[in-house]
Amino acid sequence: MESMMIYMPIAMALLGLAYMLVKKSWVMKQDAGDGKMKEISDYIYEGALAFLNAEYRLLAVFVLIVSIALTAVSFIVPTTHWLIVIAFIFGAVFSAFAGNIGMKIATKTNVRTTQAARTSLPNALKISFGGGTVMGLGVAGLAVLGLTAFFIIFFHVFMGGVWTNTMDMTIVLETLAGFSLGAESIALFARVGGGIYTKAADVGADLVGKVEAGIPEDDPRNPATIADNVGDNVGDVAGMGADLFGSYVATVLAAMVLGNYVIKDMGGNIGEAFGGIGPILLPMAIAGAGIIISVIGTMLVKIKNNDAKEAQVMGALNLGNWVSIALVAVSCFALVTWMLPETMQMNFFGEGLQDISSMRVFYATLVGLFVGAVISSVTEYYTGLGKSPILKIVQQSSTGAGTNIIAGLATGMISTFPSVLLFAGAIWASYAFAGFYGVALAASAMMATTAMQLAIDAFGPISDNAGGIAEMSEQEPIVRERTDILDSVGNTTAATGKGFAIASAALTSLALFAAYVTFTGIDGINIFKAPVLAMLFVGGMVPVVFSALAMNAVGKAAMQMVNEVRRQFREIPGIMEGTGKPQYDKCVAISTKASLKEMMLPGILTIGFPLVIAFVPMIFGMDSLAIAEMLGGYMAGVTVSGVLWAIFQNNAGGAWDNAKKSFEAGVMINGEMTYKGSDAHKAAVTGDTVGDPFKDTSGPSMNILIKLTCLIGLVIAPILGGHTVETAVTDTMMKHEISKEIKVEMESADADNARAVITASYTEDGKTITEEQVVEGTLEEVKAKITELKNKENN
C-alpha cells in the first residue's frame, strides 16, 4: 500500500515556493529609488545576468558531456539504469534555476534596501531580509520538490509504487543519486567560479582604483566597481545557495539510502505502515517540515526601533534562527515517533544486530541540531570583532605584516581544534545512538533549517550591495549608516554561515560515505591494506592542491582585471573627471570569462581523481571490491583533509578580515589608540589580502570538493560493487543465513559469472552433519537455485 505521507514533502515544498512568490512580488513592489540608484542597480543586475548566462552555456556543454558518459555507462553496466541521466539533467537544471532565482532577487533587493534605508531601518531590514527569504525558500523548496518528485517517479517505475524488497529500492536510490550529482556539479561551477569571480574583481578594483589611482572604494569612475558588486552576488549569494542546495539534496538522499539499509537489517520488510518505507520517507518528511518551519522563522525577524543598533538586528535574526531550530527539534520528535517502528534492528560493525528504539534516532537528530548551532558560535569566537583571537592578531600587526600573517594563520589552525572535536563527537554520538542512519539523520535535522540559514546568509551581501549603491549614488550619510548596521551584522552572519556550510558538508559527506559502503557491498574500508592507505594519502593531498589552484586562479584573473582597468584609465578620455564613461561591461566580461576558465583545472582534479582511481586499476584487471575499498580510502582522505582545510582557511580569512576592520573604530596597541592609515593597519590590510582568497575562494570550495567527491563515488559504486546481486540474495533470506539450517555465502556476484556456496547442516546423534553445495552460473541461475533450496527447506 502506498502511503499518502510520500506526498507530504512535495506539498510542503510547494507551500514554501508559493510563500516565496508572495514574498518576491512584495519585494519587487517596493520603491526602487531614483535615476542614479536605479542605473547602478541595473548595471549590477545585468552583470550578474551576464555571468549566469555564460555559466549556463558552459554548464550546458558540461551537462551534455556527462549525460553522454552516463548514458554509455548505463548501457554497459547492467546495474545502472539510464533514468539516472534524466535525474542528473534535472538536478543540474533545478540547481541552476534556484541560483537564478536567488541572484535575480538579490540584485533587485539591494537598491530597494538602499531606498528604504533613506527613511527607515526596520523597513530596510524587512526588505533585505525579505530578499534573503526568497532566496532561501527558492533553494530549499526546489531541492525538496525535485528530490521528492523524482523519488516518487522512480518508486513507481522500478517498484510500481509498492514495497517489494531492498534491492529494488537500492536501484531507485542509485538512480536518484543522479539528481544529487547534477545539483552538486552545478555547485562546483557556482561556488568555485563565483569565488574566483568575486575576488578577481575585488582585488582588481582595489589594486588599480584605490592604490594606483587613489579613488575611494565603490567609486563609479572605477571600471571594475560594478564587477566588484556583481562578485558579491555571484560568490556570496549564488555560490552559497548552490552549495547548500547540493548539501540539502545529498543529505536527504544519503539518509534515504541508509533508511533502506535499516529495512534490510530488519529482514527486508517492516510492515504496512507508511507503505513499508517509513525510514526512507522520514528524512524527506523532516526536510518538508523544515521548509514550513523556516517560513515561520523568517516571519519573526523584524525590528521596530528606527534607532536600533547591530545588537537589536542580530537579536532579531537570532530569534528567528533559534525558534526554527527548536521547532525542527519538536517536529523531529513527532515525525520520528510517528513514522519509525518503535524498535528497529540495526547492524553495527563488529557488534552485530542491535535493537534500536526510535527515540535514539530522535536523539541523533538533536546531535545534528546541536552541531549546527554550536559550530556557528565556534566560528564566531575565532573570527568575531572584539574576540580575543582577533585582538591578538591586531596586537601582532604592530610588529609588521609578517607577525600579522603568522598570527592569522595560527588562529585559523587552532580553530580546527574545537571544530574537529565537535564533529568527531557528533559522528560518535549520532552513530552510537542509531548507527550511520543516525549520522545521516543528524545531518538531515541540521539541514532542515537551510531556508532560514540561507535567508540570514543572503541578507548580508544584499545589505553590502545596498551600502555600495548608497555610496555610488551619493546618498546622505544616514543612509550609509543604516546600511552599515545591516552590513556589519551581515559580516557576522556570513562567517557563521560559512561554519554552517562546512558542518553541513562534513556531515553530508559522512552520510554519503556510509551510503557508498552500503552501495558497494564491501565490508568496510580497512586502511591497514596498503593500497587503501596510499589512497588515503592521495585523498588527503587533493584539498591542499585544490586550494592552491584556486588561490593561483584568483591571482591570474586579478592580473587580467588590473590590466583592463589600467587600459581604460589610459585610453578613455575624461574618465577620471567623470565625463568619460567607464566600460563596466568589459570588466564584467573579464571576471566572467576568467573565473569560468580558471575553475576548469580544480574541477578536473575533483572529478578526474576518483574516476582514475576507479577505472585505471579496473583496466589492469584489479578486483572491483578492492577498487571500491581504495576509492573509499580516497573519499575518507578528501573528507578529513578537506574539512580541516575548510575550517583553517575560512577562519583564518575571517579573522584577518575583522582584524583589519578593528582599525576603523580604532584599537589600543601598546597603550596607544591606533587607527586606519597607521603602519599596523597597513600590516592588517596585507593580512586581509591573503585572507580574501582563503575565505571567499579556496576555503568555501572545500565544501563542494568533499561532497562532489563522495557523490561521484556513490554514482560509481554500482559499477564497482556486485551489490545488486548480493542484495537480491540476502534480502529475502537475511544475510548469509536463510534459516538456521542453510547458510549462503556469495563468493562472486557477477551478472554472468556468479558463484555461491550453500551449506546445509543438521544435527544427528549429537553430531553436526553438513552438506555443502557450490552453485555456479549466471546470477539469475544462482538466484533461482537459492530460492529453490530455500523453498525446499521451508516445506
User: Does position 633 bind its own copies by CB under 8 A?
Assistant: yes
- Residue 370 exposure: Cα atoms within 13 Å on the Cβ side: 14
* Piece in contact with its own copies (CB under 8 A), picked from 172-180, 260-268, 584-592, 636-644: 636-644
Any idea what DSSP says for residue 756?
Answer: E
Burial 366-381 (b: 16+ CB within 10 A, else e): bbbbbbbbbbbebbbe
* Piece in contact with its own copies (CB under 8 A), picked from 59-67, 112-120, 183-191, 538-546: 538-546
Length in residues, the chain: 795
CB of 391 to its own copies, least distance (A): 14
The x, y and z cell numbers of residue 683, run together, are 600590516
> Among residues 63, 147, 549, 575, which is the contact residue for its own copies, using CB under 8 A?
549
Give the contacts of 704 (CB within 8 A, at least 6 positions apart): 184, 187, 188, 191, 192, 243, 246, 505, 606
CB of 392 to its own copies, least distance (A): 9
CB neighbours of residue 214 within 10 Å:
8
* Piece in contact with its own copies (CB under 8 A), picked from 19-27, 117-125, 234-242, 632-640: 632-640
CB of 409 to its own copies, least distance (A): 7
* Piece in contact with its own copies (CB under 8 A), picked from 362-370, 378-386, 744-752, 764-772: 764-772
CB neighbours of residue 682 within 10 Å:
17
User: Does position 737 bind its own copies by CB under 8 A?
Assistant: no
User: Does position 638 bind its own copies by CB under 8 A?
Assistant: no
User: Does position 555 bind its own copies by CB under 8 A?
Assistant: yes
> Are 108 and 130 in contact, with CB atoms under 8 Å apart?
no
User: Does position 675 bind its own copies by CB under 8 A?
Assistant: no
User: Does position 769 bind its own copies by CB under 8 A?
Assistant: yes
User: Does position 608 bind its own copies by CB under 8 A?
Assistant: no
Residue 269 phi/psi, 5° resolution? -155, 130
Give the C-alpha separation, 512 to 732, whole Å.
25
> Among residues 517, 565, 711, 782, which is the contact residue for its own copies, using CB under 8 A?
517
User: Does position 427 bind its own copies by CB under 8 A?
Assistant: yes
> Are 301 and 318 in contact, with CB atoms under 8 Å apart?
no
Give the C-alpha separation, 233 to 32, whole Å.
18
User: Does position 615 bind its own copies by CB under 8 A?
Assistant: no
> 303 vs 536, which CB is nearer to its own copies?
536
Q: What is the DSSP string of 350-414?
A: TTEEEEEEHHHHHHHHHHHHHHHHHHHHHHHHHHSTTSHHHHHHHHHHTT-HHHHHHHHHHHHHH
* Piece in contact with its own copies (CB under 8 A), picked from 7-15, 28-36, 360-368, 540-548: 540-548
> 109 vs 398, which CB is nearer to its own copies?
398
> 192 vs 525, which CB is nearer to its own copies?
525
Residues 171 to 210 in contact with its own copies, rule: CB under 8 A: 207
User: Does position 724 bind its own copies by CB under 8 A?
Assistant: no
> 143 vs 535, which CB is nearer to its own copies?
535
Give the contacts of 408 (CB within 8 A, at least 6 positions apart): 393, 652, 655, 656, 659, 687, 690, 691
**Per-residue three-class SS string for 446-512:** HHCCHHHHHHHHHHHHHHHHHHHHHHHCCCCHHHHHHHHHHHHHHHHHHHHHHHHHHHHHHHHHHHH
Burial 636-646 (b: 16+ CB within 10 A, else e): bbbbbbbbbbb
CB of 437 to its own copies, least distance (A): 11
CB of 526 to its own copies, least distance (A): 4
CB of 288 to its own copies, least distance (A): 27
CB of 142 to its own copies, least distance (A): 32
User: Does position 644 bind its own copies by CB under 8 A?
Assistant: yes
> Among residues 503, 640, 708, 729, which is the contact residue for its own copies, using CB under 8 A?
640
> Among residues 537, 574, 778, 793, which is the contact residue for its own copies, using CB under 8 A?
537
Give the C-alpha separation, 446 to 366, whole Å.
9
Residues 43 to 72 in contact with its own copies, rule: CB under 8 A: none
User: Does position 421 bind its own copies by CB under 8 A?
Assistant: yes
> Among residues 88, 436, 437, 500, which is the contact residue for its own copies, using CB under 8 A?
436
* Piece in contact with its own copies (CB under 8 A), picked from 119-127, 296-304, 336-344, 765-773: 765-773
CB of 224 to its own copies, least distance (A): 16
> Among residues 132, 693, 700, 721, which is the contact residue for its own copies, using CB under 8 A?
693
CB of 426 to its own copies, least distance (A): 8
Residues 399 to 418 in contact with its own copies, rule: CB under 8 A: 399-403, 405-407, 409-411, 413-414, 416-417
User: Does position 551 bind its own copies by CB under 8 A?
Assistant: yes
* Piece in contact with its own copies (CB under 8 A), picked from 306-314, 395-403, 584-592, 734-742: 395-403
CB of 668 to its own copies, least distance (A): 18
The angle at the Cα of 64, spanning 61 to 65, to the nearest 5 degrees, equals 90
**Per-residue three-class SS string for 60-97:** HHHHHHHHHHHHHHHHHCCCCCCHHHHHHHHHHHHHHH
Q: Categorise residue 173: left if φ over 0, alpha if ψ from -120 to 50, beta otherwise.
A: alpha
Give the C-alpha separation, 486 to 316, whole Å.
12
CB of 512 to its own copies, least distance (A): 13
> Among residues 58, 273, 373, 420, which is the contact residue for its own copies, using CB under 8 A?
420
User: Does position 428 bind its own copies by CB under 8 A?
Assistant: yes
Residues 293 to 352 in contact with its own copies, rule: CB under 8 A: 349-350
Q: Residue 519 to residues 175, 257, 718, 765: CA-CA distances in angstroms?
A: 12, 8, 7, 43
> Among residues 235, 283, 637, 653, which is the contact residue for its own copies, using CB under 8 A?
637
CB of 693 to its own copies, least distance (A): 7
> Are 237 and 135 in contact, with CB atoms under 8 Å apart?
yes
Give the C-alpha separation, 171 to 39, whole Å.
53
> Among residues 79, 175, 595, 686, which is the contact residue for its own copies, using CB under 8 A?
686
